[in-house]
């Protein structure tokens, strides 16, 4: 079942790249007591994700935070090494937190996995965005296949 607005984020563990290597971040620590704008992409370094999705959130980070967002998070079913390198190459440092959902546990738990095997991608996460306040989803935007509209930073700004 797909998660919905009003639902609580399930327990999950993400990985982030640090100077000492990958480190765990628990969903309760990430989302508890704060407002988080999270967006998911099918894959780091893929065309739409690299040309539009991540750059949009990097460019709009100041505006999103001015509207009450404590942290902006990008996640994908990639490993922490790839997410870290992608974030650096996109200038995300200090603007967007890059979190790996390497095994797809988070997207599977919220029912937003995607079968990308036909394109050689394996199982991935769908393209979506959400606003989470103290662990509860207040806004959820799930894209239609091969679309990029409602999960953008620009669209999210209209919802805050």
Residues labelled as active-site residues: 49
Q: How far apart are CA 17 and CA 135, in angstroms?
A: 23
Mapping DSSP to helix (H, G, I), strand (E, B) and coil, where does residue 72 land?
A: strand
CA distances from 16 to 13, 26, 117, 154 (A): 10, 11, 25, 25
Question: Which helix (H) or strand (E) element contains residue 13?
Answer: strand 13-18
Which residues are CB-neighbours of 118 under 8 A, at least 6 positions away?
none
User: Which token pair is 79?
Assistant: 């490993």
């Amino acid at each position: 079942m797909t998660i919905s607005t009003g639902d609580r984020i399930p327990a999950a563990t993400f990985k982030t790249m640090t100077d000492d290597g990958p480190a765990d971040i628990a969903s309760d620590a990430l989302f508890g007591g704060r407002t988080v704008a999270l967006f998911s992409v099918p894959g780091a370094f893929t065309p739409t994700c690299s040309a539009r999705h991540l750059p949009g959130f990097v460019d709009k980070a100041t505006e999103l935070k001015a509207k009450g967002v404590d942290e902006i998070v990008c996640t994908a079913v990639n490993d922490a090494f790839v997410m870290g390198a992608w974030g650096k190459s996109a200038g995300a440092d200090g603007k967007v937190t890059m979190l790996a959902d390497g095994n797809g546990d988070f997207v599977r738990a919220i029912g937003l996995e995607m079968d990308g095997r036909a394109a050689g991608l394996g199982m991935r996460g769908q393209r979506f965005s959400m606003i989470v306040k103290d662990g509860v989803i207040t806004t959820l935007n799930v894209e239609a296949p091969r679309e990029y509209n409602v999960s953008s930073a620009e669209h999210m700004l209209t919802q805050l």
